[in-house]
Chains A and B, each alone.
Chain A
Amino acid sequence: MRGSLAAAYAWLDERFDLGALVEFARHKRVPVHRGSVFYYAGGVTAFLFLLQVGTGILLLMYYRVGTDASYESVRYITTKVPFGWLMRSVHSWGANLMVLFVLLHMLSVLFMKAYRKPRELTWLTGCALLGLSMAFGFSGYLLPWNELAYFATKVGTDIVGQVPLVGHWLLRLVRGGDEVTGATLSRFFGLHVAILPALLTSLMGVHLLFVQTQGMAGADRAKKTMAFFPNFLLRDAIFWLVVLNAVCALAVFFPWELGKKADALASAPTGIKPEWYFLSQYQFLKVLPGRIGPVAGELVGIAVIGAAGLVFALVPFWERLVPEGRRDRAVELFGWVSLAVLGAMTAWGYLS
């Protein structure tokens, strides 16, 4: 066996110069310190993405898109297809955990200041990956065509309509008309299973290429390091196994509910709220007054949320404006204040 593996390796090495790749992997080091555990967040996110792709493909075998088929097919998947309930729940829980780990990964990068030169583009691609993950969540939420999904999409896309000048055009583009209908469902389906996977896979490739090319931040000046291959990768695998088990446990004990089929003529269920990763923004928009001066309150809210997102994404660039001695503290303060505001608004949203 060992002999045939070695022969296969030699055959490939002759053609693709695998030796250089192996040499590169052997020399890659990961810093070891008390915050090293956060390095695994990126790997777990990648694992969860693969889990989403796998369960998503299996769901696609039975899912049918359309106002008269989506809900019924998801019900069929959860009640009739062997292990369909597991695939659907793992897919839904996995999506939430993926957004959670993207956030965790980004926050650890922010607090470790790993976004600094020469890693500005790695940070920016990470921000774009966060946006794409949330878009994945939003588009996938509508696909079962249930009551909650319908109204969450209605409220979410209403916000798009508030954008000045192009708002109505954007709204029609997203919905495929003035209302959330079967046309919206088809668009979201296409977005969820074709456009977003292509974008996210490509961008993740670029992101990983940057990480591999530039190495881990601080690895060159760390007192203690660990080999990336195979030590770090094997430790990463342990986390993947733990996360896989956690997702399965969530699917068994808290299977994702399907609820009632969407009905455009029904009134919105009371206390309807978006997914947790949109809740802080939703709550912020909800508490704003109808008008702030001459401008609609919602419009001001969208501008503030957009500006906050931009400030977050541009950290590597604006932090240089802060005197060097205070730079670390300024970024940490920014990080903690952002976390506190997001946490408080999310908690408020849940409790209100």
Chain B
Amino acid sequence: MSLLLALALLAAPAGADTCVKCHSTLEDKHALILRSFSRDIHKEKGLTCVSCHGGDSAKEDMSEAMDPEKGYVGVPSPAQVPEFCGKCHSSPAYMRRFNPSLPTDQQAKYRTSTHGIRLQAGDEVVATCASCHPAHSIRPAKDPTSSVYVKNVAETCARCHADTKKMAPYGIAVTQAADYRASVHGKALLERGDTSAPTCNTCHGNHGAVPPGVASIGMVCGSCHVGNMEFFKASPMAGPWERRGFHACATCHTAHGVQKPTSALLAGSGALCARCHKPGSKPLAVAASMKGGLDGLKAAYDGAEGSVRQAEEKGMDMAEARDALDGARMSMFQARTAVHAFSAEAVAKISEEGKGSADKASLAAREAVKDFRNRRLGLGLSTFVIAFLAGAVYLKVRELEEKD
């Protein structure tokens, strides 16, 4: 080994990085680090091994190059990692040189996270910086190959959170990743590629990751679903739920496996409301009324949409009917949102408005189809007249030609 190192040093050009020179001759693990580091964002920004590990890469002698007195720290333990990365990443003055818009509060946030709190308590199994940002192959979050790119976050978190062995000591369920993938959010992001859809860190935070508690879960969901949150907060349900410790959103929609809501959640077999409210109670009557409003609007919209499509297939210009349909569609969104006010009147008012727009579109479609029939009739009549004229002219020509 020493002979190999000595030979490597002799072969290397003067002034070259001795860390690279020596580690490239070592076993696969070290060569892999060097290969990975060639694509690392730190390397791209001009940093080298000593920027993080300390020491003196100009010295050819190993003991001098890796001298602790020259700041050499070697491989940090998990407990040292936040400090190790924070040397630079917590320094606004230093980070400004590379990317002024990059936050420098990651280490501070990490300390407040469940991961950070446990690490400070001596648990070295929890996630640290390098668990999510793999050392020596870190890419910026905007890079699709990065482990923290929005579409890769769920996979990165699942490496630990879907691991039964790792989660067992903490008593944490391991189904979140699978639930998320099957959820409306997971499908939007992972299947449809909608990068505005939420992933793990959207709700839990990234460096300050904690499970949102009862007090904050409504706010977390409400940061995107603003209307729903506003209606819920003003509803008669908000106070009693808070007192009983129910999650404002997750109680009905679940946390990770949120599915596309339908009116079936309100009434009928499998309705969520019936889980708590007694049959025949006023709240269930309100829920049934809201379901009726939503279903009636949807039926009116579907019917109008079909009629408009039919008219369009005949080549009729249905722009105005489409505008009315857009209005009905908007009412469908608003009525579904208004369900969170738990008021039959609120949903009925919006549903009626939407039905009015859908009826307007239906009427326009019927008129257009009638107009199309009239056009065909007109064409038939004009064809008859034209054929008569053409026939008359032809007979005249024949008469003239016979005379000739």
Residues of A within 8 A of B (CB): 75, 78-79, 85-86, 226-227, 230-231, 234-235, 237-238, 241-242, 244-245, 248-249, 252-255, 257-258
Q: B317 contacts the other chain (Cβ, under 8 Å)?
A: yes
Residues of B within 8 A of A254 (CB): 315
Shortest distance from the beta carbon of B325 to any chain A beta carbon, whole Å: 16
Residues of B within 8 A of A235 (CB): 397
Q: Are A237 and B393 in contact (CB under 8 A)?
A: yes
Residues of B within 8 A of A253 (CB): 315
Mark the stretch among B15-23, B234-242, B378-386 that contacts chain A: B378-386
Q: Are B404 and A227 in contact (CB under 8 A)?
A: yes
Q: B41 contacts the other chain (Cβ, under 8 Å)?
A: no
Tell me if B's interface is mostly helix, strand, loop or mixed. Answer: helix
Q: B370 contacts the other chain (Cβ, under 8 Å)?
A: no
| A-B residue pairs in contact (CB < 8 Å), sample of 9 | A79-B317, A79-B320, A226-B401, A235-B397, A238-B390, A248-B379, A249-B383, A252-B378, A253-B315
Q: Are B401 and A231 in contact (CB under 8 A)?
A: yes
Q: B109 contacts the other chain (Cβ, under 8 Å)?
A: no
Residues of A within 8 A of B379 (CB): 248-249, 252
Q: Are B317 and A241 in contact (CB under 8 A)?
A: no
With beta carbons under 8 angstroms apart, the residue of B320, B378, B386 that contacts A244 is: B386
* Separation of A248 and B316 alpha carbons in the complex (Å): 15
5 more contacts with CB within 8 A, not counting A241-B393, A242-B386, are A234-B397, A234-B400, A242-B390, A244-B386, A245-B387
Q: B70 contacts the other chain (Cβ, under 8 Å)?
A: no
Q: B375 contacts the other chain (Cβ, under 8 Å)?
A: yes
With beta carbons under 8 angstroms apart, the residue of B316, B320, B382 that contacts A245 is: B382
Nearest A residue to B384 via CB reads A245
Q: Are A252 and B319 in contact (CB under 8 A)?
A: no
Shortest distance from the beta carbon of B399 to any chain A beta carbon, whole Å: 10
Nearest A residue to B364 via CB reads A79
Residues of B within 8 A of A252 (CB): 375-376, 378-379
Residues of B within 8 A of A231 (CB): 397, 400-401, 404
Shortest distance from the beta carbon of A92 to any chain B beta carbon, whole Å: 12
Residues of A within 8 A of B319 (CB): 75, 79, 258
Residue interface bits B301-325, CB-to-A below 8 A is 1, else 0: 0000000000000011101100000
* Separation of A248 and B384 alpha carbons in the complex (Å): 13
Nearest A residue to B316 via CB reads A255
* Separation of A86 and B376 alpha carbons in the complex (Å): 12
Q: B394 contacts the other chain (Cβ, under 8 Å)?
A: yes
* Separation of A78 and B318 alpha carbons in the complex (Å): 10
Most buried by B among A78, A226, A237, A238: A238
Nearest B residue to A85 via CB reads B317
* Separation of A234 and B393 alpha carbons in the complex (Å): 7
Residues of A within 8 A of B299 (CB): none
Q: B43 contacts the other chain (Cβ, under 8 Å)?
A: no
Nearest A residue to B379 via CB reads A252
With beta carbons under 8 angstroms apart, the residue of A244, A245, A258 that contacts B317 is: A258
Residues of A within 8 A of B320 (CB): 79
Residues of A within 8 A of B315 (CB): 253-255, 257
* Separation of A85 and B371 alpha carbons in the complex (Å): 11
With beta carbons under 8 angstroms apart, the residue of A230, A241, A255 that contacts B390 is: A241
Shortest distance from the beta carbon of B308 to any chain A beta carbon, whole Å: 14
* Separation of A231 and B393 alpha carbons in the complex (Å): 10
Shortest distance from the beta carbon of B90 to any chain A beta carbon, whole Å: 41
Residues of A within 8 A of B378 (CB): 252
Residues of A within 8 A of B383 (CB): 245, 248-249
* Separation of A253 and B320 alpha carbons in the complex (Å): 21
Residues of A within 8 A of B87 (CB): none
Most buried by A among B386, B394, B404: B386
Q: B396 contacts the other chain (Cβ, under 8 Å)?
A: yes
Residues of B within 8 A of A249 (CB): 379, 383
Residues of B within 8 A of A230 (CB): 400
Q: Are B397 and A241 in contact (CB under 8 A)?
A: no
Give me the 4 closest cross-chain CB pairs, A-B, nearest first: A255-B315, A241-B390, A245-B386, A252-B379
Residues of A within 8 A of B316 (CB): 255
Residues of A within 8 A of B396 (CB): 234
* Separation of A28 and B386 alpha carbons in the complex (Å): 28
Residues 73-121 of B contacting A (Cβ, < 8 Å): none
Residues of A within 8 A of B376 (CB): 252
Q: B135 contacts the other chain (Cβ, under 8 Å)?
A: no
Q: B389 contacts the other chain (Cβ, under 8 Å)?
A: yes
Nearest A residue to B320 via CB reads A79
Q: Are A248 and B382 in contact (CB under 8 A)?
A: yes
Shortest distance from the beta carbon of B37 to any chain A beta carbon, whole Å: 38
Residues of B within 8 A of A257 (CB): 315
Residues of B within 8 A of A238 (CB): 390, 393-394, 397
Shortest distance from the beta carbon of A242 to any chain B beta carbon, whole Å: 6
Residues of B within 8 A of A245 (CB): 382-383, 386-387
Q: Are B317 and A78 in contact (CB under 8 A)?
A: yes
Residues of B within 8 A of A227 (CB): 404
Residues of B within 8 A of A226 (CB): 401
With beta carbons under 8 angstroms apart, the residue of B375, B386, B401, B404 that contacts A241 is: B386
* Separation of A335 and B69 alpha carbons in the complex (Å): 90
Residues of A within 8 A of B387 (CB): 245
* Separation of A165 and B393 alpha carbons in the complex (Å): 57
Nearest B residue to A88 via CB reads B317
Residues 319-353 of B contacting A (Cβ, < 8 Å): 319-320
* Separation of A345 and B296 alpha carbons in the complex (Å): 53
Shortest distance from the beta carbon of A251 to any chain B beta carbon, whole Å: 8
Residues of A within 8 A of B317 (CB): 75, 78-79, 85, 255, 258
Residues of B within 8 A of A234 (CB): 393, 396-397, 400
Residues 203-218 of B contacting A (Cβ, < 8 Å): none
* Separation of A341 and B401 alpha carbons in the complex (Å): 42
Shortest distance from the beta carbon of A19 to any chain B beta carbon, whole Å: 21
* Separation of A214 and B279 alpha carbons in the complex (Å): 98
Residues of B within 8 A of A75 (CB): 317, 319
Residues of A within 8 A of B400 (CB): 230-231, 234
* Separation of A242 and B390 alpha carbons in the complex (Å): 8
Shortest distance from the beta carbon of A78 to any chain B beta carbon, whole Å: 5
Shortest distance from the beta carbon of B267 to any chain A beta carbon, whole Å: 40
* Separation of A257 and B404 alpha carbons in the complex (Å): 49
* Separation of A237 and B394 alpha carbons in the complex (Å): 9
